[in-house]
Amino acid sequence: MSWTSVDDPQLGVCQRADAGARLVEPLDAAGLAQLLGEYRGAFTPTVGPPPDPGGRDRVWVDLSPFSGVGPVTDGALAVQAGGAATWGAVEGHLAAEGLTLGPVPGALWDEPLYVTLARGARRRPSPRFGELLDNLLAVKAALPGGGLTRSAVTPRRATGPDLARGLLGAGHRAGIPVSVHLQAWPRSPVTAWRAVGFAGWAEALHGGVAALHGGARPAWWRFAAQGDRVVCLAGFAGEAGLARFDEAMGGHPLDPGLARALGDEVFGPGVAAHPLGAAWSGPVSEAIGRAEVGSEIWDLRPEGVTVLGAATGPDPGWASLADAALGVLEGGP
């Protein structure tokens, strides 16, 4: 599909595909905000021309200008990235400076940040580095109808309701992130590996919770059914409670090479290749029953578990409320 530059009376200079779809590239954040403010129709964000432009009325906004990464703030280790930068690009930039975001799920590696934020994906199996979006320090976004949000780059967005979080999981209608600050960490090599076998899911999950309460903080871990047993594989970056893991976990020690073989790219795209969307999250006690038939626990925390392969959709009541608020934001009633 080829694109042709045209001067659109509403959008200014843009490219038009043969099918009539239009692609517009804002110069900067202010330009994007102005575009969203002055054009009353809907945009679909993209990075570069989309392979399939869609129908005649489709308007794409190319976020390529917001793909940069850096710099990293001294001391705070806060890395600034454009909304269209991929997680892999951010991690690559940090790796060159001896830093890391912690494990990035493989499914996200090539995904632009704005897409992840729009989906509200926040899980990752890393007690040491915490959930993905807990490491989000600030977001600057262009809003529907124009205007730019602002949030201080701080360790906690602490003033009133968390409006930056209001953008998360709301889809592209809520706004388009143009700049993001993320918490980076000193990059410790993975120095220890553990593999532990359990007779069943209940023993494995209770062992995992006991290890967390004991102070163990694996850089990543995974729980998976293998034949008639459940295996936990874990990698530790730095000390991070390795001794407490050994004390509290229970189960039967297995060859740590099992973990090493699966996890030697803990800070690369190999940590997990599963799509994060197909998952169920809930309390440990309920997860035990679900995991009997599932194959893998994605994430384990004392107060909850995410089980892969058991998806639940959004609550319809809350989804309609979000739709209503988005309607107001877009200038509706």
Q: Per-residue string for binding with another protein, 217-236, x by CB under 8 A?
A: x-------------------
Of the candidate residues 81, 137, 190, 230, the single one contacting another protein (CB under 8 A):
137
Find the angle CA(140)-CA(155)-CA(157) to the nearest 5 degrees.
Answer: 55
278 sits near another protein (criterion: CB under 8 A): no
**Which CB atom, from 51 or from 332, has the smaller least distance to another protein?**
332
| Six-digit token string for 288 | 């035990």
292 sits near another protein (criterion: CB under 8 A): no
Spatial neighbors of 138 by CB under 8 A, at least 6 apart, are 151, 152, 153, 154, 157, 164, 179, 180, 181
Cα–Cα distance, 266 to 202 (Å, whole number): 26
Sheet containing 69-72: order of strands: 69-72, 78-82, 176-183, 136-142
| Residue list 3-62, contact with another protein (CB under 8 A) | none
Cα–Cα distance, 130 to 117 (Å, whole number): 16
Cα–Cα distance, 295 to 41 (Å, whole number): 44
Number of residues that bind another protein (CB under 8 A): 87
165 sits near another protein (criterion: CB under 8 A): yes
Of the candidate residues 48, 71, 215, 289, the single one contacting another protein (CB under 8 A):
215
306 sits near another protein (criterion: CB under 8 A): yes
Of the candidate residues 9, 51, 55, 161, the single one contacting another protein (CB under 8 A):
161
User: Near another protein by CB under 8 A, which window of 16-24, 49-57, 60-68, 123-131?
Assistant: 123-131
Cα–Cα distance, 104 to 126 (Å, whole number): 9
Of the candidate residues 95, 143, 224, 254, the single one contacting another protein (CB under 8 A):
143
Spatial neighbors of 278 by CB under 8 A, at least 6 apart, are 308, 309, 310, 311
| Residue list 64-83, contact with another protein (CB under 8 A) | 73-78
For tokens 């003033």, what's the residue? 159
166 sits near another protein (criterion: CB under 8 A): yes
Strands 176-183 and 78-82: antiparallel
**Which CB atom, from 49 or from 238, has the smaller least distance to another protein?**
238
Of the candidate residues 186, 253, 257, 289, the single one contacting another protein (CB under 8 A):
186
